[in-house]
Amino acid sequence: MPVLDANVQNGDLEDITGAFELSVTARFDALVSGSWQRVFDFGDGAASNNILLTQFENTSDLMFAVYQEGIAHIVVAHDALIEGEVANWGVGVDPDQIVIDDSLETDVMSFDEVNEFIEAEIGRKIGIVGACTGFDAHTVGIDAIMNMKGYNHHFGLERYPMIDAHNYGAQVSNERLIELARSAGADAILVSQVVTQKDIHLENLANFVELLEAEDLREGFIIIAGGPRIDNKLALEIGFDAGFGRGTYAEHVATFVARRMVQRRRRPAKRD
Ligand code: B12
């Protein structure tokens, strides 16, 4: 589908007949005073063949719905709407399920803004290492985030002058990734998990956090999980600082790491 402009009539669009992904940038200015405010609503009639992304009633919940021949498939992301903040959301239907990914970062900084922010606020390059861990051999996701070339016209972290990024590829054990992060003097560690059979991704991620904690290293790193079945809520539950799913670009990650480093520095010292 082409890029659509919300301020103009987009006319007839090509039919969506199979799996698809859409990304949108939007801001809600008044939640309570509105109701069912749409981000988009494509279709050929009320609740028959429609695809819509909308506020749920007048709440801060975001609802994604696909109506197919009168049958509704709906998912709701609770508290995804923050009044006055620009947010990016990715929604879609993959061959086996309907997904909504309430993006974690609002006001994502651009490539240039991230570099300027790091220079001004941190005053040195930040170190980020990453890998796809365990037996998972899917490198494309972590490459999209880290490699120089990037993904979908978004440069990867290796291209950022203020980031020292190292991508260690796939099938890296958790132990090895931690060792590599230590020797690189990294500030943040990125872990990619794609294969989810028998919840192996959850086990791998939990084991990663346990290893860091066991070695008393958890506080020393910002740790981020990512992959098509990962979202921020899940990652936080496992003990990561953040989680990113489909539609993520390097700038989402760079923005999060840079801001989190500054927040950590500002955190008051612990008192006994
Ligand atoms: C290419 C591919 C492969 C290639 C991988 C090649 C490579 N070098 O990566 C090969 C052929 C090796 C492969 C093997 C297998 N695959 Co495969 N593969 C795919 C396929 C077709 C595309 C994946 C991909 O590249 N996506 C594009 C990237 C850009 O998307 P992404 O990974 O989601 O990454 C984005 C985000 O998730 C996020 N992200 C990802 N990681 C991270 C990390 C961080 C830190 C952050 C911030 C963000 C982030 O950012 C990225 C950019 O936005 C998918 C199907 C599909 N259409 O998705 C199946 C798929 C992932 N594979 C699948 C399976 C089952 C397998 C095998 C087990 C098959 C088998 N029986 O042998 C093996 C597993 C091998 C192993 N040990 O891991 C399943 C997984 C199902 C599941 N839920 O577990 C899928 C979904 C296919 C399916 N529908 O069944 N596969």
Ligand 1: residue of 138, 208, 223 to mutate (most ligand atoms within 8 A of CB) is 138
Ligand 1 centroid – CA 136 distance (Å): 9
> Among the three residues 41, 74, 106, which one is the final residue of a domain in this structure?
106
58 with 183, same domain: the answer is: no
pLDDT tens-place string over residues 151-192 = 989 999 999 999 999 999 999 999 999 999 999 999 999 999
Give residue 123's pLDDT: 95
Atom of ligand 1 nearest to the CA of 228: 37
Active site residue 233: no
Tell me if 271 is assigned to some domain: no
Task: Supply the mean pLDDT for the chain.
Answer: 86
Ligand 1 centroid – CA 157 distance (Å): 20
pLDDT tens-place string over residues 66-103 = 877 666 677 777 678 888 888 888 888 876 655 555 55
Give residue 173's pLDDT: 98
49 with 153, same domain: the answer is: no
pLDDT of 229 above 70: yes
Q: Is the CB of 152 under 6 A from ligand 1?
A: no
CATH number for 206: 3.40.50.280
Q: Is the CB of 147 under 6 A from ligand 1?
A: no
Name which residue sits closest to atom 81 of ligand 1, judged by CA: 195
> Among the three residues 106, 122, 144, which one is the final residue of a domain in this structure?
106
261 with 126, same domain: the answer is: yes
- Domain range for 182 is 111-266
| 104 confidence band (pLDDT: 50, 70, 90) | low
Inter-CA distances, 200 with 155, 165, 203, Å: 30, 27, 5
Tell me if 1 is assigned to some domain: no
Q: Is the CB of 118 under 6 A from ligand 1?
A: no
Residue range 133-155: average pLDDT? 95
The pTM of this model reads 0.73
Ligand 1 centroid – CA 193 distance (Å): 8
CB atoms closer than 10 angstroms to residue 253: 27
| 203 confidence band (pLDDT: 50, 70, 90) | very high
115 with 102, same domain: the answer is: no
